[in-house]
Amino acid sequence: MRRRLLGRLAATAATLSVVAVLPALTGGSSAQAHDGHGSGHATPAHADSSYKNVGYFTQWGIYARNYQVKNVETSGTAAKLTHLNYAFANIGADGKCFEANVAGEGDAWADYQHPVDAATSVDGTADTAAQPLAGNFNQLRELKAKNPKLKVLISIGGWGWSTHFSDAALTPASRTALVASCLDIFVKGNLPLLDGKGGPGSAAGLFDGVDIDWEWPGSSGDVDTVYRPEDKRNFTALAAEFRKQLDTYGRTTHKHYDLSAFLPAAPAKIDAGFEVKKIFRYLDFGTVQGYDFHGPYEATTNQQSALKAPRDTPVANDFSDTQAVGDWLRRGAPARQLVLGVPFYGQGWTGVPDGGKAGLFQTSTGPAPATWQAGNEDYHALKALAQSGTYALHRDTRDGFAWLYDGTNFWTYDDPQVIAQKTAYIRQQHLGGAMAWSLDGDTSDGELITAIDSGLNPHHQGHH
């Protein structure tokens, strides 16, 4: 369940006669049917650092992957994050946020119903039958108690749950209703009462803002996701409405609520869906997709998250981090409000010949076998492959990407060395920070989030 890009690039006739399809964010979950990926005013977690370190926690990660909120604490991750984005909340056909237990549409059980035992709990105490808030939400509350500087945002949408965004953002009345419903449930904490859990104010004070994860305004996303040309101006109006209602509520709680958005890497998607110079008046920051540039939905192996496009790439106008960030900057986005997304997973192909390039830019027979979803593997599993002796690790240090190759399987991913190059780029370009999709892909000791933290804040090394 990752986010996917969905952009199309016609390759030059001299190299490839195919159209490279950059698909849509999907990742792997055996627990859910839906796919999702996936601030000028914000107070950073490190008092002496202005960089944001944002991590997505996936609602479904608690099942097969057994990645619990407690793991965010025990891995040392929580102390290094400024923002944790909870993925995802859904919008119903009525254009409003909702909580329910409907397969593929809502998982209130994960969010706030399931009882957490003492061993799995952040604070070491088991949930009781009487408490109104249980599940991930109560664990996030406990996580914040241990990490008072950490902000938790509710991320709305994602790849599979952006279906109704366009309709909900269509008119002033529908935008007002959507924002009011999302704030009522999540920011004000009035969760619907389900089997004795939830109720008025049950999650009050938990969420510190909203992350708009509309994939994608003005251009195609998941198969059933509606999009229309008016989305471009309506996204701006929706961001303005969120900002207005968050500020109005914030005056009653004496608090600033953050507003962020997930932003595409493809120039065509930027131009179809975003009034770049306007939206950052309302957003605290935007996270730019820095992954899924290529994957096994294409026949040819390639980088999925390179800092720079390789000189010998067979794809014309290829995607990269510097391209994506540069396209936002050229359109007027403020550098300090752009947060670069990095993947905590890799993309893989099988049936790949060496080709004199250790499998890079070669043909394949399909996605590589993997734990949860063919062609998609968590970083900690790829690290184990790299250490297994059956794979060779290769790097393009000039362009900032790495890959594994065993003679037939090819995996491209980010490791601490790649992340060091990306955080150096973030600092050099005076960007806002880094974002990770998603925390459950990291090692049990938070190797990748530590690399982000030490890369953005070199003076903090050894202090955690």
The residue type at 29: S
User: In this predicted model, which residue has the larger pLDDT, 158 or 30?
Assistant: 158
DSSP 43: P
Contact of 333 with 276, CB cutoff 8 Å = yes
In the beta sheet, which residues pair with residue 156? Answer: 89, 212
Residue 1 has pLDDT above 80, yes or no: no
Residue 28 has pLDDT above 50, yes or no: no
Q: 344-388, pLDDT tens digit by residue?
A: 999 999 999 999 999 999 999 999 999 999 999 999 999 999 999
Q: 291-305, pLDDT tens digit by residue?
A: 999 999 999 999 999
Give Rg (Cα) of the chain.
21
What's the rounded Cα separation, in Å, for the pair 324 and 7? Answer: 12
pLDDT band at 333 (very low <50, low <70, confident <90, very high): very high
Residues 189-208 as b or e (16 or more Cβ within 10 Å = b): bbbeebeebbeeebbeebbb
DSSP 224: T
Contact of 89 with 156, CB cutoff 8 Å = yes
Q: 386-402, pLDDT tens digit by residue?
A: 999 999 999 999 999 99
Task: Find the catalytic residue in 73, 215, 377, 447.
Answer: 215
Domains along the chain with CATH numbers: 4-344+416-460 (3.20.20.80)
Residue 39 has pLDDT above 50, yes or no: no
What's the rounded Cα separation, in Å, for the pair 362 and 409? Answer: 11
Q: Which residues lie below 8 Å from residue 166, measured CB to CB, with a gap of 6+?
A: 217, 225, 226, 227, 228, 231, 234
- The answer to whether 377 is a known catalytic residue is no
DSSP 368: P
Q: Please give the backbone phi and psi of residue 164, each rounded to the nearest 5 degrees, phi first.
A: -105, 10
Q: What is the 3-state secondary structure (H, E, C) of 80-141?
A: CCCEEEEEEEEECCCCCEECCEECCCEEHHHHHHCCCCHHHCCCCCCCCCCCCCCHHHHHHH
| pTM score, whole prediction | 0.90
Contact of 352 with 410, CB cutoff 8 Å = yes
Average pLDDT, rounded, for the chain: 91
pLDDT band at 461 (very low <50, low <70, confident <90, very high): low
Contact of 299 with 308, CB cutoff 8 Å = no
Could you tell me where the DSSP H helices lie in 373-433?
A: 379-386, 416-428
Q: 419-432, pLDDT tens digit by residue?
A: 999 999 999 999 99
